[in-house]
Amino acid sequence: MTSRLGEPSLLVLSALAGGPLHGYGLLAAVRELSDGDVSLRVGSLYGALERLAAQGLVEVEREEVVDSRLRRYHRLTPAGAARLAADAERQRAQATTALRRLRTAGLHP
Amino acid sequence: MSRLEAGYRRLLRLYPRAHRSARAEEMLAVLLDAAPRGQRAVTAAESVDLVRGAAGAHVSGLGRRAARRPGTAAATVTLVIALALAVAPGSVPDPAAARALPDAFAGYSPLTGTVGHSPPGPAVALYRQGSGAELFDAPQTVVAGASGAYRRLDLAERRGGMQAEVAGDQARFDARQAEPAPAALSPNGARVAVGVSLRDSTDGAADPVRRGTAASDDTADSGLDVAVQDLTTGKVVRHALGNGRDALPVAWSPDGRSLAVLVHQAPPGLRYAPERYHPDVDRSGWLAVVDTSSGAVRRVEPKASWRPESAAFSPDGRRLAVQDEAGTLSTVTLADGSVADLGQPDLYLTSGSAWSPDGALLLGMRRSTGADADDTGCIAFASLTAAAAPDCLPTQRYGQSTALGWTGARSIAITAERGAAGDGVERVDVLDVDVRDGSAHRTSSIPSRGGDVTASAVDVAGDVLRFGETAAAPATDHGRWPVALRLVAAALAAALAALVARAGTAAGRSLRRRTAAG
Q: Round to whole Å and give the CA distance between B386 and A77.
A: 90
Nearest-neighbour CA in chain A from B118: distance (Å): 23
**What is the number of alpha carbons within 13 Å of residue B369 lying toward its C-beta?**
6
Beta strands in B175-231 (DSSP E): 183-185, 191-194, 196-197, 199-200, 206-207, 225-230
| Amino acid B489: pLDDT | 80
Distance between CA atoms of residues A57 and B464, nearest Å: 59
For chain A, give the number of residues: 109
- Selecting from B19, B30, B51 the residue whose C-beta is nearest the C-beta of A24 gives B30
The answer on pLDDT for A31 being more than 50 is yes
Cβ under 8 Å to B: A residues 29-58: 41-47, 50-51, 54
Residue B82 Cα, gap to closest chain A Cα (Å): 18
DSSP per position, B34-51: HSPTT--S--HHHHHHHH
pLDDT at B182 > cutoff 80: yes
Mutate which of B19, B33, B48 to test chain A, going by most A C-beta atoms within 10 A?
B33
Quick one: CA torsion of B200, B202, B205, B211, rounded to 10 degrees? -70
First to last CA, chain B: 60
B472 Cβ contact partners less than 8 Å away, ≥ 6 residues apart: B102, B103
Which DSSP state fits B296?
Answer: -
Report the residue from B25, B49, B57 with minimal CB separation from A41. Answer: B49
A51-60, B74-83, B134-143, B268-277 — which one is most confidently predicted on average?
A51-60
Q: Which residues of A touch B25 (CB under 8 A)?
A: 69-70
How far is it, in rounded angstroms, from Cα A107 to Cα B6? 56
Of B139, B208, B151, B213, the closest CA to residue B178 belongs to: B139
At B320, the amino acid letter reads L
Q: For residue B26, give the chain A residue with the closest CA.
A: A70
The tally of CA atoms less than 13 A away on the side-chain side of residue B342 is 23
Choice among B246-255, B258-267, B413-422 with the minimum mean pLDDT: B413-422
The answer to whether B248 and B182 have CB atoms below 8 angstroms apart is: yes
Query: Chains A and B: how many Cβ contacts under 8 Å?
Result: 58
Chain B residue numbers touching A54 (CB-CB < 8 A): 60
Given a cut of 60, whether residue B179 has pLDDT beyond it is yes
- B231 near B119, Cβ under 8 Å? yes
Q: Dihedral (C-alpha) A58, A62, A65, A66: value to the nearest 10 degrees?
A: -70
Contact between B424 and B382 under an 8 Å Cβ cutoff? The reply is no
> In 3D, which of B365, B363, B369 has the Cα closest to residue B314?
B363
Q: What is the pLDDT of residue B89?
A: 55
Strand arrangement, sheet containing B401-408: B401-408, B411-418, B427-434, B440-447
- A77 to A13, A21, A28: CA distances (angstroms): 10, 13, 21
The rounded distance, in Å, linking the Cα atoms of A38 and A36 is 6
The arithmetic mean of pLDDT across residues B169-184, rounded, is 63
- State how far the Cα of B460 lies from the Cα of B430, in Å rounded to an integer: 10
The percentage of residues in chain B with a pLDDT greater than 70, rounded to a whole number, is 81
Can you say whether the dihedral through the CA atoms of B208, B212, B218, B222 is positive or negative? positive
- How many C-beta neighbours within 10 Å does residue B372 have? 8
Residue B318 reports pLDDT greater than 90 = yes
| Residue B477 DSSP class | B
Residues B312-331 have a mean pLDDT of 93
pLDDT, one tens digit per residue, over A32-90 is 888 888 888 999 999 999 889 989 999 999 988 888 888 999 999 999 999 999 998 98
3-state secondary structure of B142: strand
